[in-house]
Amino acid sequence: MEDKRPLALTVLSVSVLIAVVISKLVSYATKPRLNLPPGPWKLPVIGSLHHLVGSHAIHRSMRALAEKHGRHHLMQISLGEVFAVVVSSPEAAEEILRNQDVTFADRFLSTTIGVITFGGNDMAFAPYGERWRQLRKLCTLELLSAARVRSFRRIREEEVARLVRDLAASAAAGEAVNLSGRIAKLINDVVVRCCVGGRSEHRDEFLDALRTALDQTTWLTVADVFPSSKLARMLGTAPRKALASRKKIEHILEQIIQERKRIMDRSSHGGDGDGEAMNTSECFLDVLLRLQKDGNTPIPITNEVIVVLLFDMFSGGSETSSSTLIWTMAELIRKPKVMAKAHVEVRQAFQGKNTITEDDGVNELTYLKMVIKESLRMHCPVPLLGPRKCRETCKVMGYDIPKDTTVFVNAWAICRDPKYWDDAEEFQPERFENKSIDYKGSNFEFLPFGSGRRMCAAMNLGIANVELPLASLLYHFDWKLPDGMMPEDVDMQDAPGILVGKRNSLIMCPVTRVAPSNPQVIAS
């Protein structure tokens, strides 16, 4: 008799398979569909990446895509395995950054930033919660308060005076200067002195290590867009370079910490140490070491915490300031009438002085402030702000935003929205005249520093590092382009990366009008 058991098993297997398929289909058909924001077409595996590949200015590509696909300027894209939403209008930004701020209070943590910050152990990238709140409180009250920022004015004045002397020497020799390089060095020197003090023998080494670490964080890696791939993690070089940089920073900082502790001990025992006024001008490291020694903070101030907070201070206080200064000078040289108006204001305000100090009233220069605002509007230092992460599924402007969605707020696109800005692509500082628009996060058409709980905490430090140098550059010097160049020839392309500076160096010729050693105005 023929054995029918194989046939029975086959029928049973097919029946089970059909039942499973029907169950899946029923589940899919009855499952509530998410009403996701619109977006561009996708490819298997890579998602929307092909729309961005080849673009060195991702924020510009995202604006172009949003104009085409983003209804209400809310657009979905898939960066490999990472589902993301791009926000490109003030209305959508307000909904996320103010109305639902807590829901979007987490940060997207890239692999390289995760390595450098010990897995998001710093203030900028720590998950939203009690520890983050205590870190933020510590930074805003102890490290970045208005009083602390003012206490660094001597550092700013000394470094700016050094820059002015160097530029005057170049002017006397009739040399063109790489203003981008000069400005970057100025701001780096200011911020490193604010971070670790002015006389550390390891300062240059520390600066180099910080710069190298920062370079590893400028954009997403393959491991970021394919987080489930072990191969992507194995082949990626950026995380390994970031780890090497972090270890170098830790090693250098340990030496600097011991150096500062010796200074603080000598100062506390009545000695003059190395001559630094520790109590009146503490650097960030001094403050953190004092708090570490006191032991009264809600969270322990370990050396690990010191490393990541100093990295936050450096990245937040240097890159944005130098970028803004360079863009501002580039815009001014292209707009002679605006440059002339700024010259007149500064030279009238400080007439007869051979050196400008912050006590002379730099922060009262109305037109200079408008110039800085307009520069920040046109050239947001971090055009996509710090990417946020959705903590729970929610609705934004009628669309469903799933939990863990990465959110990019395209501040660059928002600041150039023609609905809010006339002649949005033109540099016109006068647009801020008699208007109460500021960069403190309450005007959602103008978000150079973000808004809400995750707004840039180093904003006051960044602005202070821009105002005095810009006023001094305009007070002491007239500026020309090298022979043969016209204002329209100045290259204004963005550099690639998350922190967007000017792609090519700004080369200009200083002509001394007020010599730093002589208050007399030099005839042109």
In three-state form (DSSP H/G/I as H, E/B as E, the rest C), the secondary structure along 369-413 is HHHHHHHHHHCCCCCCCCCEECCCCEEECCEEECCCCEEEECHHH
Answer yes or no: are the C-beta atoms of 172 and 273 closer than 8 Å: no
Residue 394, marked binder: no
Element containing residue 177 per DSSP (H, E): strand 177-178
Place of tokens 């996708």: 42
DSSP secondary structure letter of residue 358: G
Residue 498: which residues within 8 A CB-CB, separation 6 or more?
217, 218, 219, 382, 384
Are the C-beta atoms of residues 456 and 449 closer than 8 Å to each other? yes
**What is the rounded CA–CA span in Å between residue 108 and residue 127?**
9
CB 306 within 8 A of CB 288: yes
- Burial status of residue 52 (CB atoms within 10 A of its CB: 0-12, 13-18, 19 or more): middle
Measure the CA–CA gap between 434 and 437, rounded to whole angstroms: 9
Give the rounded distance of the alpha carbon of 159 from its chain centre.
Answer: 22
Do the beta carbons of residue 89 and residue 417 sit within 8 Å? yes
Which residues define the annotated binding site for heme? 456
Which residues define the annotated binding site? 456
